[in-house]
Structure 1
Amino acid sequence: MRRSVHEALRPQTVAQVMARQALTAHFQPIVRMRDGAVAGHESLIRGPVSSDLASPDALFRAARAEDCVVPLERMCVWVGLQQWRAHAPGTLLFVNLSASTLVELVERQPLSDLLGDAVVSPSAIVIELTEHERVADVPQLIEVANRLRALGLRFALDDFGDGRSSLRLWAELRPEIVKIDKYFIRGVDSQPVKVQTLRGLLRLAESFGTALVAEGIETEQELRVVRDLGIEYGQGYLLGRPAADPAMAVPRAVADIIASAEVAVLPELQRAASAQFTVERLALPVPGIEPDTPNDRVAALFAQDLSLKALAIVADGRPLGLLNRQSFTDRYTRPFFRELYGRKPCMLFANTTPLVLDRHTGLDAMTAVLTSADQRYLTEGFIVTEGGRYLGLGTGEQLVRVVTEVRIEAARHANPLTFLPGNIPISEHIGRLLASGGEFVACYCDLNDFKPYNDHYGYWSGDEMIRLVARTLVALCDPRRDFVGHVGGDDFVVLFQSSDWLERCEQIIATFNEGAKALFDEGARQRGGIDAEDRHGVTRFFAMTTLSVGAVPVRPGRYERVEQVATAAAAAKHLAKQARRGLAIGEG
């Protein structure tokens, strides 16, 4: 079938794309979280529309095959600068370059040649370093970076935490900006481990003098958490999609969220990470292959299972080497490779000195591995053994995530009975509410006649009563706006931002009081209570256990300190218990 004239003229190779200057730039805004202003844009290159090279992944995959990655990256920078300067003066432009390409370009030519005739101030340019795992000579990269910094350029590391990024590179290069991989942002409003991870990265950033950009913000809840954690910048589809015409302002709904005094309810970890965590939990049971396996067979195995990142070469149960998918595929797709080496043993191209970790390797050792000089394992993965015998494979991505997440002490604030946040998170949330300047309602919840019930039926039944309080509170509060905490015993705190807090409190009390009846025996339900000893050892009648709630509306400027709010809520709870009313509202 003959191709149309249009199809015939369409660029078929990267060389043709560059020769015809068929690249276009789209720009995605990077937004300042404190005020919603657009602080910069990332230049994202697209190939010819409706061609096989339209997407960046396809374009660079083809460039690697044609051995023209460096000229393509240079042209991407030039195109981004040319198209951006006409639209977005006064903001920063982030341009992507691999570290190896940057070094090669700067060593070969002056900066003026790199930027071409694009009249853009160097102080407006941020070089966003990609593919960190390919930094073979960190001192040389730092020397080049210092030369460019002297001219006013800044640096960013992209996708930190995706398994390729290097903590060592962050520490040595000291980039002005680090972009957090979208994995840590996706679902952060409901995943406490990710919240703790971001807090850890914020501490690192403060130590290094680095600004953070949260990538991949796609929901309102994610945006609120990123803003409230204090991350300086955000990027993602919610804030603005890539477009040929750079957006100079965020959508109105996004600006309203950023300006809102309502704070996010940060999810809390329920359990502490085990101090006995070992690398065995990262081991994937990938079968090993024999050292004489032909390269054609290896290619077929990779093609059959796209999830395979690597294959271990094993003989007599002991690992001899490692074949990384990307490295192997790059070789295998070269001209004449299959003809020359397709039937040859795979050991010819294996890494015979891979990273090998025993299954008992703990978190401290894994942390040491992360900051080691040899960073190949981040892309190649590593081998897990047991007593020297092959057990499975681990990936660099897993290792980075586990060390970042699990090392954070997470469950020290959770109540062990209900797994609700305890005193410290409660105080922290009250502090955030006060700092926001918005209105909220602090409620202190306590059980009436709980001790007689606990004494009469035993601590096991008492624990079930306390868990009923927790379930009721959680079920009838808005998890996006209302914070539920467990002070201890039968004392709970709810911090409402929901406008219908009064109705919710009344429903909580009615629901609990009805549910608590089921925890008494039939005789007690018929009598309306039980006979039990009071605090003086005298047996008397006690009504069935009910819930009291003291509520204090907190208005801006009324309280300055956390303890003042807690004291006022406790006083309102005391009034409710004294009057044996379900709800008492104190002075706000």
Structure 2
Amino acid sequence: MPSSTVECGTSFEPVISRLIESCALKALFQPIVRLSDGAVIGHEGLIRGPAGGALESPVALFARAHDEELAVELERAAGKACIDAYFDGATNKDALLFVNYSAAAINSAPDRDALLLHADAKRLVIELTEQSRIPDLDVFAASVNAVRASGARFAVDDYGVANASLSLWAHLAPHYVKVDRYFIHGIAQNAVKFEAVKSMVSFANATGTLLIAEGVESPADLRIVRDLGIPFAQGFLLGRPSQTPATRVSESAAALLRSQQIAVYPATKHRRADVHESANQLEAMRIEAPTLKPEACNDDAVHLFNTLPSIHALAVVDSEGTPVALINRRSLMDQFALPYHRELFGKRACMQFANREPVSIERTASIETIATLLTDDEQHALSDGFIVVDDGKYVGLIAGASAVRAVTELRLEAARHANPLTFLPGNLPLGAHIARLIDSGVAFVACYADLDHFKPFNDRYGYWQGDAVLKAAADALSSACDPDGDFLGHIGGDDFLILFQSGDWYERISRAAGEFNEKVRGYYSTEDRAAGGIVGEDRFARQAFFDFVRMSIGGVAVRPGQLRAAAQLSKVASIAKQRAKRDTIGIVVIEFTGDGGID
């Protein structure tokens, strides 16, 4: 083979034209698989240079072609090589061939027409490569329409990177869009990639476009792609590029596709309020209250409080509008309610009874900022509230009660998505996963776990130690789960729910419960460990002896197609949990029957 790197000064020997003329380009084919049944519906044609040479890889090959200004000629030769090899040798006469072409090549009518003449157009899909720059989208759309008129189909390659944009998708209405491997590789562990691809699926459904996931290399990623509703995929897990077009996927890949086990979607953190939303929330709470100067007297403050009974505080600001203190209504009025205090202190400076270290927040602050201040060392903000500033200048007040209400609403909403202590999914993600299990008709086991004797322990050792025990329970249950198929959620308090698809779920949950029951003893004092438990109040406020905290687990086995609604599962799981609490081992499993009963 001729050398690919012969140089003379700054010029290159024209290697690409010789490779084209000598038919030295080799075609490879990677299968594209339909995920509903594992059928190979087509192949992407790939090109390689001379084996073992510097131009064997397509990246090096096309880089050299650009240097020699022969990129379009190389594309045309690569397309012809793929078409000749594919249509002469493919066993499946209905399989599609996807051929990569740049915008420049598609716009070049002679080159495009020559390519189409070599193929059964109805089996050909022209892929627009991601490197393509399209100066005039209307002109390019006319070229794409010419491709369609020939009977061939059109696809956008590597969507989500480079020039493959949403506007291009909307303007050209491709038959296929290939999702770039960047978004697919590791999607099972990456919530951001998951949400991005989920939005692509929604847009594809709205436009009638068929998606192809590129770069599928792991079973976990394959399950996510399939469950999101992407109809086709390609990648090393499904088949590597080969000179002979594959007619079927490997048995291991076929087994994965046959499996009814649904994927566990990667958890997303609860959305934080953005700047605009935070500003709107603060504006809704902000009070436009009057201010006092430092030299004002206490009688002035009392007069304002009497005139404006809804104002909880008054800010003291300097001549430049910067807050320097805050006067709390209740504190001042309580002072003036004492005998002779009005006469003694009325004419004195208002700074006498003011808080000289008020808590100020910027107008653009988030609710999370207020939550942090309330839970740190700024407890006086509960009664004083906050001064709102804009670039350090006073613009109003926020009452402590309003701030607490906003933070509480935020925490309640966040807890529906993820428990703030264990960070495990909350009720909304749990409900969504149960709905997916029901819709899929897959068999699963729901294990409802809670902690016996937890309240007496919490009363005896306090919330900090109680929280540590809850975290230990969450860790133990997490260790029992296969992250690709088992879903663990924290319902609240000491209640957890695991939705198992793992066949060895009983061994997993038994091991987790045993490990926790052993570890929890370390949270007791030496004296209480020696006594075998603690003395505390029972539900009737009577003194009683309580054993060590123990994990009880009620399991409900659901066969395919039995369950119709999550409410049915909740009722039966509660029954199983109550039975487990009375069981010596602490684990009870019951069978769910089709009519909603139990065996």
TM-score in same-fold range (> 0.5): yes
Equivalence for 1:478 = 482
Equivalence for 1:31 = 33
Is residue 215 of structure 2 the alignment partner of residue 216 of structure 1?
yes
The more displaced of 24-33 and 567-576 is: 567-576
Is the CA contact 1:77–1:115 (under 8 Å) kept in the aligned structure 2?
no
What amino acid is the match of 1:458?
G
Q: Distance in 1 between matches of 2:553 and 2:534?
A: 23
Is residue 115 of structure 2 the alignment partner of residue 114 of structure 1?
yes
Q: Distance in 1 between matches of 2:24 and 2:584?
A: 77
Superposed CA offset, 1:516-548 (max 9, x none) = 111122222222222333334333332221111
Equivalence for 2:70 = 68
Equivalence for 1:381 = none
What amino acid is the match of 1:256?
A
Q: Distance in 2 between matches of 1:19 and 1:579?
A: 81
Equivalence for 2:240 = 241
Is the CA contact 1:272–1:411 (under 8 Å) kept in the aligned structure 2?
no
Superposed CA offset, 1:235-276 (max 9, x none) = 011111111110011011111110112222332124546735
Is the CA contact 1:99–1:131 (under 8 Å) kept in the aligned structure 2?
no
Q: Distance in 1 between matches of 2:42 and 2:414?
A: 34
Equivalence for 1:426 = 430
Change (3 A) 1:20 1:196: same
Superposed CA offset, 1:186-217 (max 9, x none) = 22222232222221221121122211111111
Instruction: Give the drift of 1:413.
Output: 2.3
Equivalence for 2:177 = 178
Is the CA contact 1:32–1:39 (under 8 Å) kept in the aligned structure 2?
yes
Is residue 522 of structure 2 the alignment partner of residue 518 of structure 1?
yes
Equivalence for 2:325 = none
Is the CA contact 1:571–1:586 (under 8 Å) kept in the aligned structure 2?
no
Equivalence for 1:166 = 165
SS at match of 2:188: coil
Superposed CA offset, 1:449-504 (max 9, x none) = 22222222222222111111110011122223322111111111111222222222
Change (3 A) 1:528 1:121: same
Q: Distance in 2 between matches of 1:132 and 1:51?
A: 24
What amino acid is the match of 1:424?
L
Is residue 201 of structure 2 the alignment partner of residue 202 of structure 1?
yes
Equivalence for 1:87 = 89
The more displaced of 53-62 and 158-167 is: 158-167
Q: Distance in 1 between matches of 2:416 and 2:249?
A: 38
Is the CA contact 1:270–1:420 (under 8 Å) kept in the aligned structure 2?
no
Q: Distance in 2 between matches of 1:435 and 1:510?
A: 33
Q: Distance in 1 between matches of 2:171 and 2:138?
A: 9
SS at match of 1:586: strand
Equivalence for 1:304 = none
Is residue 584 of structure 2 the alignment partner of residue 583 of structure 1?
no
Q: Distance in 1 between matches of 2:155 and 2:53?
A: 31
Unaligned runs of 5+ in 2: 7-12, 277-363, 365-412, 593-599
Is residue 441 of structure 2 the alignment partner of residue 441 of structure 1?
no
SS at match of 2:575: helix
Change (3 A) 1:68 1:226: same
Q: Distance in 1 between matches of 2:101 and 2:471?
A: 54
**Equivalences for 1:152-551 in 2 at 5 Å?**
152-270=151-269, 272=271, 275=274, 413-551=417-555
The more displaced of 489-498 and 554-563 is: 554-563
Is the CA contact 1:273–1:410 (under 8 Å) kept in the aligned structure 2?
no
Q: Distance in 1 between matches of 2:214 and 2:562?
A: 37
Equivalence for 1:17 = 19
Q: Distance in 1 between matches of 2:17 and 2:226?
A: 43
Instruction: Give the drift of 1:509.
Output: 1.8
The more displaced of 218-227 and 469-478 is: 218-227
| Bigger Rg, which one | 2
Instruction: Give the drift of 1:416.
Output: 1.8
Q: TM-score, length-normalised on structure 1?
A: 0.72
Superposed CA offset, 1:381-428 (max 9, x none) = xxxxxxxxxxxxxxxxxxxxxxxxxxxx99972222111122222222
What amino acid is the match of 2:116?
L
Is the CA contact 1:99–1:134 (under 8 Å) kept in the aligned structure 2?
yes
Instruction: Give the drift of 1:19.
Output: 1.8
Superposed CA offset, 1:288-312 (max 9, x none) = xxxxxxxxxxxxxxxxxxxxxxxxx
Q: Distance in 1 between matches of 2:199 and 2:584?
A: 46
Q: Distance in 1 between matches of 2:414 and 2:65?
A: 44
Is residue 128 of structure 2 the alignment partner of residue 129 of structure 1?
yes
Instruction: Give the drift of 1:122.
Output: 1.8
Q: Distance in 2 between matches of 1:532 and 1:92?
A: 73
Q: Distance in 1 between matches of 2:541 and 2:2?
A: 96
Equivalence for 1:142 = 141
**Number of residue-to-residue matches in the alignment:** 449
Is the CA contact 2:76–2:111 (under 8 Å) kept in the aligned structure 1?
no
The more displaced of 75-84 and 34-43 is: 75-84
Q: Distance in 1 between matches of 2:557 and 2:130?
A: 52
What amino acid is the match of 1:56?
P
Q: Distance in 1 between matches of 2:182 and 2:139?
A: 31
Is the CA contact 1:269–1:410 (under 8 Å) kept in the aligned structure 2?
no
SS at match of 2:242: coil
Q: TM-score, length-normalised on structure 2?
A: 0.70
Quick one: higher RCO (CA 8 Å, sep 6+), 1 or 2? Answer: 1
Q: Distance in 1 between matches of 2:140 and 2:264?
A: 42
What amino acid is the match of 2:45?
S
Would you identify which runs of 4 or more consecutive aligned residues in structure 1 move more than 6 Å? Answer: 5-8, 409-412
Q: Distance in 2 between matches of 1:486 and 1:144?
A: 55
Is the CA contact 2:43–2:96 (under 8 Å) kept in the aligned structure 1?
yes
Equivalence for 2:53 = 51
Change (3 A) 1:441 1:225: same
Q: Distance in 2 between matches of 1:40 and 1:96?
A: 14
Is the CA contact 1:196–1:410 (under 8 Å) kept in the aligned structure 2?
no
Instruction: Give the drift of 1:443.
Output: 0.6
Change (3 A) 1:224 1:430: same
Q: Distance in 2 between matches of 1:426 and 1:432?
A: 10
Change (3 A) 1:276 1:183: farther
Unaligned runs of 5+ in 1: 278-359, 361-408
Q: Distance in 2 between matches of 1:247 and 1:439?
A: 33
Q: Distance in 2 between matches of 1:243 and 1:59?
A: 18
SS at match of 1:189: helix
What amino acid is the match of 1:466?
L
Equivalence for 2:368 = none
Instruction: Give the drift of 1:7.
Output: 6.4
Is the CA contact 1:271–1:419 (under 8 Å) kept in the aligned structure 2?
no
SS at match of 2:126: strand
Instruction: Give the drift of 1:61.
Output: 0.9
What amino acid is the match of 2:79?
V
Q: Distance in 2 between matches of 1:127 and 1:181?
A: 17
Superposed CA offset, 1:113-148 (max 9, x none) = 3324x2x33221111101355111111111221232
Candidates 525, 548, 555, aligned match of 2:559 = 555
The more displaced of 236-245 and 569-578 is: 569-578
Q: Distance in 1 between matches of 2:443 and 2:485?
A: 12
Is the CA contact 2:130–2:161 (under 8 Å) kept in the aligned structure 1?
no
The more displaced of 238-247 and 133-142 is: 133-142
Is the CA contact 1:14–1:66 (under 8 Å) kept in the aligned structure 2?
yes
Is the CA contact 1:77–1:95 (under 8 Å) kept in the aligned structure 2?
yes
Q: Distance in 2 between matches of 1:57 and 1:139?
A: 29
Q: Distance in 2 between matches of 1:224 and 1:165?
A: 25
SS at match of 1:225: helix
